[in-house]
Amino acid sequence: MPSTNLLKTIAKMIDHSLLHPTFTDKTIIEGCELSKRYGVATACVKPYSVSLAADILKGSGVGVCAVVSFPHGNSTLSIKVKEIEQALRDGAVEIDAVINPGKVLGGDWNYVSNEINEMNEFTVSGNALLKIIFENDYLEDHHIIKLCEICSTHNTAFVKTSTGYGFVKQQDGSYNYKGATDHHLKLMREHCGQNIQIKAAGGVRTLDDVLRVRTLGVTRIGATATETILEDAKKRGFV
């Protein structure tokens, strides 16, 4: 029999993702209401909808998570900081920011470290938490390890696998992505300081997925399948 409060524990692992570019205000409102109903950690929303989400979620115990430089990470640092500033002003309590993948792949580690440090300092000064999105599908293991070391040095709250939109061109010309793989999650847990939390995003769609990544040290997931996951937990007797 599942342990007491496991349902709530699973719910509080979830950032309910409302990030698809086609989502209307109606979709975002419905997603925020769902987030309240299930008592998840946050509703993760596009920058323009932070204030809308904050109004809906006020007093509910569900936070607002805003994405920054999403999904490609190529904004200048000054613009990333401005996005964080606006999101915090509008009511965000968590920030998911994408690093510059070209700088990572080019080995410009001073740039990457400075970007992460400045974003983290600004976010923390606003009493919010920063999650750094690596976009692992673009990277090799040594890039991921180095990013974990940098985030550990600057004491970011979280490292995060993916945006869910990091599509890579395949040999047949189509685009696909893997998202949060077990291999990458193990690598991130191994190479991050113990105070750094891990967020898995991209491909975590079922309760079994959540339970599996939880055993790998994941404490937060990004999910669009929130209702499916938590209704399955109820059916299995999670209380």
Residues catalogued as catalytic: 96, 160, 199
| 92-to-66, 176, 225 alpha-carbon distances in Å | 6, 30, 22
Both tokens of 167, joined, read 């599509």
Query: Do 112 and 150 touch, CB atoms closer than 8 A?
Result: yes
Q: Measure the CA–CA gap between 105 and 179, rounded to whole angstroms.
A: 18
Residue 1 half-sphere exposure toward CB, CA atoms < 13 A: 4
Both tokens of 86, joined, read 């606006």
> Does residue 158 come out as left (phi exceeding 0), alpha (psi in the -120 to 50 range) or beta?
beta
Query: Do 37 and 61 touch, CB atoms closer than 8 A?
Result: no
| 96-to-42, 47, 151, 159, 211 alpha-carbon distances in Å | 11, 11, 13, 9, 23
